[in-house]
Homo-oligomer: A and B are copies of this chain.
Amino acid sequence: MHQNIRQMLELTYSEENYLKAIFHLSEEGKKSVSTNDISAEMKTRPASVSDMLRKLGEKEVIEYRKYYGVHITEEGKKLALQTIRKHRLWEVFLVEKLNFSWDEVHEVADELEHIKSKILIQRLDEYLGFPKFDPHGDPIPDEYGDVRSRPRLPLSELEINATGQIVAVKDSSAAFLRYLDKVGAYIGARIKVMDKVEFDGSIEILVDNKKSIFMSKEVVNNILIMQ
């Protein structure tokens, strides 16, 4: 069923980071991912990216045609999803068990996600009660790389008087998350759109039927809701 004939190839710490970045960039736009995109995401120079793309291409986790960007392969997707699974499980652990706030977990999880032990992740998953979403509302892939994502749309697309529930954030930067904490928005909060300003794309929302907040276009584009 979910077994691999060929044994799972090992990636280095750095290769895992690049592959994860390529996976995320692939999800956004559908077309191929460019060297410059990866360079920006990874904060390394384009020349370094080219080096890495050659290596990832040889390992067949991406399809690499020089000058034409890359596509992630099925094998690559599977590996990237394993790293993402570990990242998100560790984030849940940090928030649920160690009382980290959701804006503090990203960097630490970026290190923890590379710990190799398979049994560690299985036990951690079990210990956390097999969570399906991380603290930012992102789905946690299962050990076969399957993701049960829930339908979600940017808060900006809700009409006046429409209601919904915050299920995730598109931007997980500490600055944005701390802003959300400050205004009392959180994953699970119930939202009603009270007013929309055509001019600047800002809106007024009611949170949990009690608190009225004004949010800028930048903010509402980065809050994902479920209706």
Q: Which A residues are closer than 8 A to B by beta carbons?
A: 94, 97-100, 104, 107-108, 111-112, 115-117, 119-120, 123-124, 127
Q: Is the CB of B97 within 8 A of A120?
A: no
Answer whether A100 and B112 are a contact pair too, CB < 8 Å, given A107-B117, A117-B107.
no
Beta-carbon nearest neighbor of A112 in chain B: B115
Q: A127 vs B97: C-alpha distance in the bound complex, in angstroms?
A: 7
Query: Could you tell me the distance in whole angstroms from the C-beta of A160 to the nearest C-beta in chain B?
Result: 43
Contact partners of A112 in chain B: CB under 8 A: 112, 115
Q: A48 vs B107: C-alpha distance in the bound complex, in angstroms?
A: 32
Q: Is the CB of A104 within 8 A of B119?
A: yes
Q: Is the CB of A123 within 8 A of B111?
A: no
How many copies make up the complex? 2
Query: Could you tell me the distance in whole angstroms from the C-beta of A88 to the nearest C-beta in chain B?
Result: 17
Contact partners of A111 in chain B: CB under 8 A: 115-117
Contact partners of A127 in chain B: CB under 8 A: 97-98
- Complex partner residue of A98 from B98, B100, B124, CB under 8 angstroms: B124
Q: A107 vs B119: C-alpha distance in the bound complex, in angstroms?
A: 12
Contact partners of A119 in chain B: CB under 8 A: 100, 104
Contact partners of A108 in chain B: CB under 8 A: 115, 117, 120
Q: 4 closest pairs, A vs B, by CB?
A: A98-B123, A108-B117, A111-B115, A108-B120
Contact partners of A98 in chain B: CB under 8 A: 120, 123-124, 127
Pick 10 A–B contacts, CB within 8 A, sort by A. Answer: A94-B120, A97-B127, A98-B123, A98-B124, A99-B123, A100-B119, A104-B119, A107-B117, A111-B117, A112-B112
Contact partners of A124 in chain B: CB under 8 A: 98
Beta-carbon nearest neighbor of A97 in chain B: B127
Beta-carbon nearest neighbor of A120 in chain B: B108
Beta-carbon nearest neighbor of A107 in chain B: B117
Q: A100 vs B104: C-alpha distance in the bound complex, in angstroms?
A: 27
Q: A94 vs B97: C-alpha distance in the bound complex, in angstroms?
A: 14
Counting chain B CB atoms within 10 Å of each CB, which of A107, A116, A117 scores highest? A117
Query: Could you tell me the distance in whole angstroms from the C-beta of A209 to the nearest C-beta in chain B?
Result: 34
Beta-carbon nearest neighbor of A13 in chain B: B13
